[in-house]
Amino acid sequence: MLKSRYFILRHEFGNVVAIEAPTSITEKLPPSVSMNGNEYLPLRDGDTFFFWDELCNKSGATVGYTFLLPESDTFANSSFIRNSNNVKLDGSEVIVLLEPCSEPVWECVQGFHSEIYCNSTDKTDCLICMYDWSQNPLAFPLRVLTKQQLK
């Protein structure tokens, strides 16, 4: 049986990292996310809806994600997009490699049920909370977020 889980993609120390959030598909995305003393609220700057696809290595394990840049100036100018060593902006396509891979293979997932959140005191600090639709193994490290860190 496929495990229901959400990932948080977040910029930390120059890279985007993946964190597993303790939520299932039967629950709504949280109204806010609290991490490291910061509160993140859903971004309401333009159209922030997007579909994402997976990037896999030759073994079929997920190494990252790709999606079209949402129409949000706040997100487009965030540290997630502008200051992450493992994020590439190719025109309007965002490529996030959570595990180095010289030739990632694109896999159509058209994942949805995701939300962009923004730090309530620092508009350059955005993160993505997304449902994991994949059945592929992960090639990247995944930290676990405690329930106390979600509101």
pLDDT digits (tens, 9 = 90+) for 54-94: 999 999 999 999 999 999 999 999 999 999 999 999 999 99
Give SS3 for 142.
strand
Task: State how far the Cα of 90 lies from the Cα of 92, in Å rounded to an integer.
Answer: 6
Express each pLDDT in 91-123 by its tens digit. 999 999 999 999 999 988 777 778 899 999 999
Closest residue by Cα to residue 149 from 47, 15, 23: 23
Q: Are 53 and 62 in contact (CB under 8 A)?
A: no
